[in-house]
Each structure stands twice: as structure tokens, then as C-alpha cells.
A and B are shown apart, each in its own frame.
Chain A
């Protein structure tokens, strides 16, 4: 650009300032003069003097506007500095004006309060006028357009953008620019229209000008964030650099970010892109979580459907089973079934691992055990067969701890085999507690040819058997202490003589109370039988 052209452009700028900002600042000068004329109390004398001074400075700056070319030779810098300089007295006018209004309202100084209304409105008008006279956007962006036609190095997702800016020039350029980037753009000229738009249509991001006539950007922001449905909508404030306090307030009120004027094209692209990317990731995360939840629900249903509905009826034996699943299925199960007129089989097992694989393996174990047991085989033989089956194709190394026993209701003899499972408890009618130690045979499914043994004991009338899984004894309290075997024995001793259902209930209640409200991380299973 030649010096001549430059000079011309600078002169044009000065002209615009005088022509646009000048008339807008007239009311301020008038209001300031009126203020100075009213008999003021000592309380506000100083402040009014400051207001008068700022008003005079503003008028002077506008009239003698002489923009100078900056060192970098850019018109943009010149305009930027001019905007900044012109705003200086405005900041003072606003600050002192609001202060005086507050004091005047408190002291009941009505004339002064009345004069301040027009003054402060005038300040807002002049701010707008400055933007109009020295638009940051159109010239700068047009120049950038020539320099950088392409979309840049990075590609960002696109979405629906709402622009709220009272400057036509700003809106036009933003619309053009953002549309070219592939976004769907809607532009409005004031705060009220912005609120209507976000409530009626769906947007992915909102660009909000801080200062607009009627309703300001921060008021629009508050309205958006107050609506639960719209709270996650990202809002980027567009603002002048020297309004840092307002920007900070907006960020605290929930604005995502801010963009200074004049816009930097790269920044604009990056910040809008970041908002949209974040939204996209949030949606992916949500659908993933929903899929997991669905899987867990299926596993839980599988587990629940496998459990027996009712204890086989027999006059000499009462029984009850209870399974309280953890959120992530733990692979526990229990089963009871009549083998013939006087023998009832009872099984409790705990599959290694969690989630859907454990649930599926559990269903398989339960089915195979039932099938083998119903042939009337002794417990050790059942476990042996099951073990051979499960050890065969076991790349994953899954296994199950399994306790299986048969009660002969005719004589109270209980024959059982224990494949790596917790020792059950024999609870005497008198409250005595004995651990039913097995032969500590190996977990089922680890390796073939593992030996299993049968042991037996005799139940006296009134005796109960309590079989449970890890979830009971390994439940932890808020200090990470374990419930443990001894506490379990104590709870059972305390409920001796109770029927199976209340017995199980008592243990569950004791564990729950011990956990202190924390959810357990493992399934909690127990089976109680009482010989009559």
C-alpha cells in the first residue's frame, strides 16, 4: 500500500469515528453537564467531577481523532488501538456512573439518579457505535481470506452454530466464514432473539457478543445456563480485550471460552472445533456406557433365571437360598433339587472373574452339575466329572469353587464334596458353631485328573447348615476391614434355631450394616438348610 493510500484510509477512519461515535457521545456530554449543574452533596462531588472529566475527554478524542499508522504497518492495529483508546473514558464513565447511581439511590438524591440513566445508556450506545465505526471483522477477515483460502492443517468436526452479534458486518462475515468451514449457521442481532433461538432450535455451539443493546451477552448466558436442558450447550463469548472482568464473570457463569475481537481466524476455528469435538466424544462415551449397562443387565438376567425358584418340599428339611448380585456380576450361583423321595442335593458355587464371561460359565457349570447329579452319583464323582469337562478346553483358565452335598432326609446324613470352596458352617440348635472342613480338594476346572473326595456328617434335629460364598466374608467396611469368618460365626450363633429364610436374612443384614452403605464389589450368596 502506498503512503497516499494509507493516509486516505486513515483519514476515512477518522471521518467515521467523528461521524458515528460523535453523535452517540453527545447525550453523554449533555448528561454530564446536567450532573455538574445539579447541587450535589459532598458524598458524590468527587465522582461527578470525574464523570465530567471523562465526558470531556471522550468528546475531545472523537473530535480530534487522528489515527496513526502503527509500527507493523497494519490498519488493523491502528483500529485496534483507536478502539482501545476511545473506550478508556467510557470505562471511567461507566464505573463512576454506576457508583454515583448507587449512592444517589441510597441517599434518595432523585435528580442525580434521574440524570444518570441517560448517561449510562449513552455509554452503551457509544460502545456500540465504536464497534460500528471501527469494525474489527470485515477488513481483517477479508484480508485473511485472500491470504489463507484453505481450511488449514487440522480438520475439525462441523455442527450448528448460533451467532448473536448486533453488528451486521460481524454477522455477515462470520456467517460466510463459518459456512465455508462446513458449519450450519444461524445469526441473530440481539439477546432476546438469541434466547428464542436456543430454546426453539438445537445448536451445537453459541457465539455470544458481550455487548448488545437491550440484553447483554452475559444475561443471555445466564438464561441459557439456568435451563437444565440447555446447560451442556457450549457458549463462547465474543468480547473486547479490555473487558477482562466481564469475561471472567462469564466463564464463572458457565461460558466455555471467549474469543477476542478482532477475530483471529485460526483461534476461531480451533475454539469452535474444540467445543464440537468435546460434544462428539461425550456422545460416544454415553453410548458406550449404555452398551456396557445393557450387557450387565443381560448377565444379571442370565444369573437370575438360573437360580432355583423354591426349595424342594420335604417335611424333614427346610431350606432357603439368597443371592445379592454385585453391579458387575460375580458369577455366584446356588442350586437345590430333589434326587428322589428322601434325598435333596444342594450346591453353592463361585466362578472366577466377573461380568458376562463369569455369568456364562456359571450357567454352564450349574447345568452340567445338575445333569450329573440327577443320575444319583456321589458328590465326589459329580465334581470329578464336572472337573474333567471344564479342564478340557480351558485356554482362559477359568474355574469354579464348588460345594455340593446331598441330605438324606430319612436319617439326617449329609454327604458332601468340596472343590476349593469356603468351609460351610454347621450351626447347632444350641448355638454351637463348627466349620465343615472338607478335604480341601482343588477348585473345579483347573486341571484334569484332580482327585475329589466325599465326606459326611450327621445332622441332629434343629441343626442348620450354612453355605456361602466369598462375597460374605470378604465384604469390607469403610476402613477396608473384612467381615471375616469369625464375625459370620458370631452372627450365626446369635440366630441359632431360626428358620433358613430369617437366618439368611440376618446374615445379609449384618453384612449390609457392616459395609456402611458402600455397594459390594462381589456377589453375596448364602444357602441355609435346617433339619427338623
Chain B
């Protein structure tokens, strides 16, 4: 599992690639939470290179979503492969995150929304 970060005008762009299995999910959680310590204006997660995700990986994204809700910024998930998209669909998480077909679409959504904080209640 590879984890890369970039910041663009306050937006935190996180790229997760490979297999997000239980073994590496803790590492993913620690790294992501550390990055979120510097509260971004928006969080964009590029999942186009993600091949596999377990419940522990989902948990990290859910924790990030809760944090984002608390700190008042949106989360956008981008570029999911069909299998990953199905995981999010079956688990009902498509309603929790803003989901886009590509990183570009996600970044465009960030541009458009100035105060959208997602569907979280």
C-alpha cells in the first residue's frame, strides 16, 4: 500500500494505491490522521490506483469523514475502480462521501463548493 500527499491551496490531496488490507490499514490511519492535524480546507482522496479495501480501511475513511464533519470541511473520493465502487455501494457509504469518477472531477467539485460540508448529520 502506498500513501502520498500533496497540498494545493489548502486542499489536502491524498493518493492511496495498492491493497488496503487489515495489515496496512493501521499505518494508513496513522498517516492520514497525522496529515489532518493540519486542518485542510477540503480533503480529496484519489483512489484510482486502489485495488482492494477491507473493513479496516473503510473505518479509516469513516473516521476521516467524522473528523471532517467536526472541523467543517468536505471529503471527496475520486476515481474508484468498479470493485471498490461496489464495496462502497453495498455498504451504504456512497451516501456518506461525495464520490467522483476522477481526480479532476473531484478537484473541480472542490472549486465549485465554497461551503458544502457533505451529507453528514
Q: Which residues of A contact B (CB under 8 A)?
A: 350-354, 397-399, 401, 419-423, 440-443, 446-450, 470, 521
Would you give the 0/1 interface string for B83-121, flagging 1 where the beta carbon is closer than 8 Å to chain A?
000000111111110000000000000000000000011
Q: Which residues of A contact B90 (CB under 8 A)?
A: 420-423, 440
Partner among A354, A397, A422 whose Cβ is within 8 Å of the Cβ of B62: A397
B58 lies within 8 A of chain A by Cβ: yes
The smallest beta-carbon distance between A214 and chain B, in angstroms, is 55
The smallest beta-carbon distance between B28 and chain A, in angstroms, is 13
The residue in chain A whose Cβ has the minimal distance to the Cβ of B51 is A480
Q: Is A420 within 8 A of B93, CB to CB?
A: yes
Given contacts A353-B59, A354-B22, contact A443 B91 (CB under 8 A): yes
Q: Within the assembled complex, what's the spacing in Å between the Cα atoms of A401 and B62?
A: 14
Partner among B55, B59, B66, B91 whose Cβ is within 8 Å of the Cβ of A442: B91
Q: Is A399 within 8 A of B59, CB to CB?
A: yes
Within B40-78, which residues are at the interface with A (CB < 8 Å)? 55-56, 58-60, 62-63, 66
Q: Which residues of B contact A443 (CB under 8 A)?
A: 58, 91-93
Q: Within the assembled complex, what's the spacing in Å between the Cα atoms of A443 and B22?
A: 18
Q: Within the assembled complex, what's the spacing in Å between the Cα atoms of A350 and B56?
A: 12
Q: Is A440 within 8 A of B59, CB to CB?
A: no
Given contacts A397-B62, A399-B62, A447-B66, contact A353 B92 (CB under 8 A): no
Given contacts A352-B55, A353-B56, A398-B59, contact A440 B89 (CB under 8 A): yes
* B55, B62, B63, B66 pick with most chain A CB within 10 angstroms: B55
Q: Within the assembled complex, what's the spacing in Å between the Cα atoms of A421 and B121?
A: 22
Q: Is A420 within 8 A of B22, CB to CB?
A: no
Q: Is A442 within 8 A of B58, CB to CB?
A: no
- Interface of B, secondary structure class, is helix
Given contacts A353-B56, A353-B59, A354-B22, contact A401 B91 (CB under 8 A): yes
10 A/B residue pairs, CB under 8 Å, sorted by A: A351-B55, A354-B56, A397-B59, A398-B59, A399-B59, A420-B91, A442-B96, A443-B91, A447-B120, A521-B22
Q: Within the assembled complex, what's the spacing in Å between the Cα atoms of A422 and B87?
A: 9
Q: Is B55 within 8 A of A353, CB to CB?
A: yes
Interface residues on B, range: 10 to 19
Q: Which residues of B contact A401 (CB under 8 A)?
A: 55, 91
Q: Within the assembled complex, what's the spacing in Å between the Cα atoms of A421 and B92?
A: 9
The smallest beta-carbon distance between A439 and chain B, in angstroms, is 9
Q: Is B92 within 8 A of A442, CB to CB?
A: yes
Q: Which residues of A contact B63 (CB under 8 A)?
A: 397
The residue in chain B whose Cβ has the minimal distance to the Cβ of A484 is B83
* B22, B58, B92 pick with most chain A CB within 10 angstroms: B92
Would you give the 0/1 interface string for B12-49, flagging 1 where the beta carbon is closer than 8 Å to chain A?
00000000001000000000000000000000000000
Q: Report the 6 A-B pairs with minimum CB-CB distance, sorted nearest first.
A: A442-B92, A352-B55, A420-B91, A397-B63, A420-B92, A397-B59
Q: Within the assembled complex, what's the spacing in Å between the Cα atoms of A175 and B11?
A: 70
Q: Which residues of A contact B120 (CB under 8 A)?
A: 447
Q: Is B62 within 8 A of A440, CB to CB?
A: no
Given contacts A397-B66, A440-B89, contact A352 B96 (CB under 8 A): no
The smallest beta-carbon distance between A167 and chain B, in angstroms, is 55
Q: Is B95 within 8 A of A442, CB to CB?
A: yes
Q: Within the assembled complex, what's the spacing in Å between the Cα atoms of A399 and B55?
A: 9
The smallest beta-carbon distance between A183 and chain B, in angstroms, is 42
Partner among A398, A440, A448, A521 whose Cβ is within 8 Å of the Cβ of B92: A440
Q: Which residues of B contact A440 (CB under 8 A)?
A: 89-92, 94
Q: Which residues of A contact B95 (CB under 8 A)?
A: 442
Q: Is A449 within 8 A of B121, CB to CB?
A: yes
The smallest beta-carbon distance between B90 and chain A, in angstroms, is 6
Q: Within the assembled complex, what's the spacing in Å between the Cα atoms of A354 and B92?
A: 21
